[in-house]
Amino acid sequence: MNEIVFSGEAIAAHAVIAVLCILIPVGAALVWRFCLKKGSMRYTFIGAGMFFLFAIILERLLHQAMLPLVSGNVLLYTLYGALAAGIFEETARYISFRFLMKYSRSAENAVSYGLGHGGFEAIYIAGITSISVLMMAAEIRSSGTAQMIQNFTGGSEAVAEQLRAQLLGFSQMTIPTALISVFERIVAMALHVSLSVLVMESVMVKGKAWLYPAAIAIHALMDVPALLYQSGKIPLLVCEAIMTAFTAVWVFVAIRYYKALRAK
């Protein structure tokens, strides 16, 4: 088995992702609550917990059944992946605002929730993943690729091949790509906060219930470029440009709804 080599730049790149994708979400939540004196940390933790329950546990259970059926078709894979993310995460938001935050609904707490939801996503998907990569890279350096993969997979050949492919990709990480990854997480957090405001509006304001399904559609559309990139249909920079422009539009819309909610 050929050795997988993590260069100094690859190690530094994953360290950058790990540090920034933990510090930025935590810092944003703390600034919002303690510097700007807005919202409550309680709802930040609710946002994080609901993301974990709906996106990490429930959605992945559905993926186990559905992905083998759609993975061979780019169109079906993209439609399924986008809709599943939108439905699960926006439903988590709606349930939180409708029931868990029934007596504390406000624009400020919507932002607190969004920072928890989007922040935990950044920490889990990027921060913790990069920490795991750094740990595996350290073990590769000390005991070799074959032994490390054996330790992590328990001898399963199929899992070993999958892990090896992932490690090969991780070993090619560069500083510019790491910074793009961090920027992507910031953009995603901004969208999560914006969608939280829209869903809060759907719960608080009579006649605005349509904003909940609208949030599902917006979330699904945001995931389309990422899924197309993963399928090799568009380059990374095009993907990031589309997602950034799309998010900027909804941040602008959410600011207007935020101001309207605060006035109520």
pLDDT in tens, 79-124: 999 999 999 999 999 999 999 999 999 999 999 999 999 999 999 9
Count up the domains in the chain and report the number: 1
Mean pLDDT for 12-21 is 98
CB 219 within 8 A of CB 89: yes
Tell me if 238 is assigned to some domain. yes
| Amino acid (1-letter code) at residue 43 | Y
Tell me if 248 is assigned to some domain. yes
Half-sphere exposure (CA, 13 Å, Cβ side) for 232? 1
CB 221 within 8 A of CB 246: yes
Tell me if 62 is assigned to some domain. yes
Q: Report pLDDT for 199.
A: 99
Tell me if 2 is assigned to some domain. no
CB 45 within 8 A of CB 114: no
Q: Report pLDDT for 1.
A: 59
Q: Report pLDDT for 263.
A: 85
Which residues, in sequence order, are CB contacts of 141 under 8 Å at separation 6+? 6
Tell me if 160 is assigned to some domain. yes
Tell me if 233 is assigned to some domain. yes
Q: Is the pLDDT of residue 133 over 80?
A: yes
Domain range for 98: 8-262
Helix crossing, 8-30 with 107-122: angle to 10°? 160
Tell me if 58 is assigned to some domain. yes
Q: Report pLDDT for 138.
A: 94
Lowest mean pLDDT among 71-80, 188-197, 246-255: 71-80
Helix crossing, 145-153 with 157-170: angle to 10°? 130
pLDDT in tens, 26-75: 999 999 999 999 999 999 999 999 999 999 999 999 999 999 999 889 99
Q: What distances in angstroms separate CA 100 from CA 3, 43, 93, 255, one per listed residue?
A: 50, 9, 10, 24
Tell me if 3 is assigned to some domain. no
Q: Report pLDDT for 151.
A: 83
pLDDT in tens, 144-182: 998 888 888 877 788 888 899 999 999 999 999 999 999
CA distance 171 to 168: 5
